[in-house]
Structure 1
Amino acid sequence: MIYAIGDLHFDFSKEKPMDIFGLNWENHEEKIIDNWKKTVKEDDLVLLPGDISWGLKLEDARLDLERIDNLPGIKIISKGNHDYWWSSMNKMESLNLKKTKFLHNNSYEYGDYSIVGTRGWAARDSFEFSENDEKIYMREVGRLKNSLDTAKNKKIIAMLHYPPFNQDLTPNEFSKTLSEYGVEKCVYGHLHGKGHKFKFEGEFLGVEYIFVASDYLDFDLKLIRED
């Protein structure tokens, strides 16, 4: 089985309570962990597209990452905009996590699928995008292509943190790239609360998009692919 859930926003230090964003976030870590243990088996795959831990440095995030690693299943983590702890692959792999892989200019194989992805960036038609964001935006498009270029000749599932299309649901460089490479499914998150109105789920330019922000899923995991 392949599952996905984004925006865990774990915080071992308890200095970033998420319930300021709504009562549904109260004890959200416990909800995620309980649902995870009820659902995921050891040989299942769990995709985690960004905003994993509030830790500012890798050492700060270590306890959150170890807690996730100890949960059932194989995990693949890609970067979110709040993952300030994200570091080089060598440093992240030096944590010696047993069942967790990091996605950055690379891909991973699981059964019939190649898993690819990157963080992505805010859409050009969003209020948060400025001309200073253009360089980051195009760099992220390049990283997505780098990841896709490493994929084997298999079906492809992509992980992005930001929605990979414009807010008016027209295609952008991310969605166009996913379609050009023949990606089957794409999971993404980032949007919370009132931002859910900007989500899209379903087929778009031949790719199936699945929105997996944790609060949208009521802190449960979304089944992406059955065996």
Structure 2
Amino acid sequence: MALYAISDLHLALSGDKPMDIFGDNWYRHDEKIKNNWINIISEKDTVLIAGDISWSMHMEEGIKDLEWIHSLPGTKIFIKGNHDYFWTSITKLNELYEDMNFIQNNFYTYRDYAICGTRGWNNPKSENFTEHDEKIYRRELIRLRLSLETAVKNGFNKIIVMVHFPPFSEKEEENDMTNLLEEYPVEKVIYGHLHGSSLQRIKDKINKNNLEYIITSCDYINFTPIKILE
């Protein structure tokens, strides 16, 4: 029984969205994910999936991708990515499968840990950050606080957080999101979103102010879920 993580599955089983336009390593990447997953994940394990699950625009299309994930072993816990347009009703999503849990203002339990999270958004110090971005960023901070606060009120003092977007800039500068994470008993932060050349400047793990930040973009971890906890 162990905890793993991966992000940016970018599935498109109901449409034509070849990911190898982003690099040869993405060729038939869904087969790579499935084979690697089956080789290391058991039914007793739990896998965190930090967003960008499917390219589907609607639930009617996305259900095929979700069924594909459902067929894989283990319990799965998700947050939303910026491409997950199929994700509309959190209630309907959480009614689909017993082994799949979706986080939005809530949390899920892994042993004595609370798993919290939200999508996040572009960093305020990034180029071309607009007033519109600021509104979305502030809303994501509220959602993250709701998730964290709910976990703490339920007695949890050990938390793992998933955010889709990197929670800091390339210079690892503090910001409102990192400050929020440090208000709570968060031990690890899982994130993705970055691909291609953006990954060349990223470290596997960043330890800052007693928090461990771990990148789990599919193409960074060779399309293989990585172990977070035994």
Q: Aligned AA for 1:22?
A: G
Q: Which residue of 2 aligns with 1:175?
A: 178
Corresponding residue number in structure 2 for 1:145 = 145
Which whole-Å CA distance do the structure 2 matches of 1:167 and 1:173 have between them? 15
1:73 offset after TM fit, Å? 0.4
Paired position in structure 2 for 1:135: 135
Q: Could you give the per-residue CA deviations for residues 87-107 of structure 1, whole angstroms, max 9, x where no partner exists?
A: 12122234x213100000000
Is the partner of 2:207 in helix, strand or coil? strand
* Stretches of structure 2 lacking an aligned partner (at least 5 in a row): none
- Spell out, residue by residue over 1:115-165, the C-alpha distance to the aligned partner (whole angstroms, 9 max, x if none): 000000010122352121101000000100000011132311000000011
TM-score w.r.t. length of structure 1: 0.96
Q: Tell me, in whole angstroms, the C-alpha distance in 2 between the residues paired with 1:60 and 1:167.
A: 35
Q: Which amino acid aligns with 1:29?
A: D
8 Å CA contact retained: 1:58, 1:92: no
Given that 1:191 and 1:199 are in contact with CA atoms closer than 8 Å, whether structure 2 keeps it comes out as: no
List structure 1 segments (4+ residues) > 4 angstroms apart after TM superposition.
none
Q: CA RMSD in A?
A: 1.2
Count of equivalent residues: 225
Instruction: Read off the aligned partner of 1:119 and give its amino acid letter.
Output: R
> Is 1:106–2:106 an aligned residue pair?
yes
Partner SS state of residue 184, structure 1? strand
* CA distance 1:33–1:86, shift in 2 (3 Å): same
- Hey, what does 1:202 align to over in structure 2? 206
Cross-structure match for 2:50: 49
Closer, same or farther: CA 98–219 of 1 in aligned 2, 3 Å: same
Tell me by how many angstroms 1:60 deviates.
1.0
Matches within 5 A, 1:107-122: 107-122=107-122
* Matched-pair contact (CA < 8 Å) for 1:50–1:78: yes
1:67 matched to which residue of 2? Answer: 68
Greater alpha carbon shift after TM alignment, 117-126 vs 193-202: 193-202
Find the aligned partners of 1:27 and 1:140 in 2 and give their Cα distance.
33
Q: Is the 8 A contact 2:121 2:136 kept in 1?
A: yes
Uncovered stretches (5+) of structure 1, i.e. residues with no partner: none
Q: Partners in 1 of 2:145 and 2:31 — Cα distance?
A: 36
Shift in Å at residue 69 of structure 1?
1.1
Q: Which one of 155, 162, 166 corresponds to residue 163 of structure 1? A: 166
SS in structure 2 of the partner of residue 143 of structure 1:
helix
Preserved CA contact (<8 Å) 1:182 1:207: no
Q: Determine the structure 1 residue equivalent to 2:217.
A: 213
Same amino acid, percent of matched pairs? 48
Q: Which moved more, 1:133-142 or 1:173-182?
A: 173-182
Distance 2:130 2:206 in 1: 29
TM-score scaled to structure 2, two decimals? Answer: 0.94
- Matched-pair contact (CA < 8 Å) for 1:56–1:84: yes
Query: Does residue 186 of the first structure (1) align with residue 189 of the second (2)?
Result: yes
- 1: CA distance between counterparts of 2:98 and 2:128? 37
CA contact (8 A) 2:94 2:100 kept: no
SS class of match (2:224): coil
Counterparts of 1:4 and 1:205 in 2: how far apart (Å)? 22
Which residue is equivalent to 1:222?
226
